[in-house]
Structure 1
């Protein structure tokens, strides 16, 4: 008998070529973790032939296309890089953002605060300073006046005497060593070539499984939607194309 499926199932992909069109000899598969939604649209153009009457005398099929839309919650740099950007991904260096929510008091002379980045990190770049009313201070090169500050390359913030004893909120970026960190270099590329990948989708219910396999795919859209009070989700849209022998893929059902 025919089967049912329930839930989003499991989806995997592995890049087969990078953004330059170079073949990836040993693809590394990646799972779309915490898959939330999958939409598969298979459509074709219909061409109708009319004579003198108001009903078609023949109907033919035109172009077909396979479009997928997926949403998932577990962030994986390899999906971003291998399947969409097709660039370079390096491991080991974390670039973090320190968003100061606690504040710190500006001491007396010399009115300086030295930031200490988390994870024994190194100060990288200033992201601004707020006073205790939430107003931003103005950055200057040196000798700050009231309502101003300066910052050195190593993260030493200097304030005016008017800020002494007041609370300021210092925001900045930093770098740190982190084995599980992945950095994706986003660079402009020539139009034409695009990363290609294969996709496997398996959905099941009641001991039966339905499998979709498409070995030649390209992604048209990657979206990311942080929310105020909910988990972020990644949107990933892609389409499939035929190999040199005209094969698109296959669908397997348990009947």
Structure 2
């Protein structure tokens, strides 16, 4: 008797990119901290009736293999290659949500936040008065009380606000050899990245495996919670490869 226990181990291996081009030497991507995987195989059935209540023949129509994986490890290559299939670059786009604050000085009335990791300021995300909790208003020039300007990462405030403590939040970019980023382009409908999916479920010296040679993602969901880990969900469907193969499965017994 063979049993299955646990979530198993799931890999995705990219076949084609967003334009339908074959990917040379794709790197297998593991769905880390896997929570669960579902593989639902279903068929349409057509029933032939005569004058009696029950069918005299049943034929199988269209079939469908729908899959869903829930996992906790966020990987740039998985999202970039298997979902969007577009160019990925090394680099960081991140943000600073300021909870420390800085006091507006009495000379230049300017504050230049120190960007982490020798990065470059990218976008203003607002300024909050640390005492009142009220946001300051961004203006083009000559700020007055409760206002500020920003240019090239330098924040300038009104002389009347000298001594006020403010929280400054912003986005920044930085170079990296490990971090991933991708700008998703609005490509033509039809083509989409395809990939191979392999689910391996070992238990008690035995195993069950499903190999789907051609898959296409239909949905990626990411929901956050106040006091829990985010568990993204990745939906995909399997279809036939060039040889007409849809699935290979194997069990120890």
TM-score (norm 2): 0.96
Secondary structure, aligned partner of 1:54: coil
Q: State how far apart, in whole Å, the 1-side matches of 2:200 and 2:150 are.
A: 54
1:206 to 204, 212, 219: 204
Determine helix, strand or coil for the equivalent of 2:45.
strand
Runs of 4+ in 1 over 6 A off after TM superposition: none
* Partner in structure 1 of residue 93 of structure 2: 95
Counterpart Cα distance in 1 of 2:172 and 2:192: 33
Alignment equivalent of 1:237, drawn from 235, 242, 247: 235
Distance 2:68 2:209 in 1: 17
1:245 Cα deviation after fit: 2.9
**Aligned 1:189-204 pairs, distance under 5 A:** 189-204=187-202
Distance in 2 (alpha carbons) for counterparts of 1:250 and 1:70: 19
Question: Which residue in 2 is equivalent to 1:124?
Answer: 122
Contact 1:4 1:204 in 2 (8 A): no
The structural deviation recorded for 1:201 is 0.4
The answer to whether the aligner puts 1:18 opposite 2:17 as a matched pair is: yes
Say which SS state the counterpart of residue 243 (structure 1) adopts: coil
Distance 2:246 2:196 in 1: 11
Structure ranking higher in strand proportion: 1
Count residues with an aligned counterpart. Answer: 252
Residue aligning to 1:254: 252
Q: SS at the partner of 1:6?
A: coil
Q: Distance in 2 between matches of 1:84 and 1:247?
A: 22
Note if contact 2:213-2:245 (Cα within 8 Å) is conserved in structure 1. Answer: no
| Paired position in structure 1 for 2:72 | 73
**Cα separation, 2, equivalents of 1:174 and 1:65:** 44
Look up the match of 1:226.
224
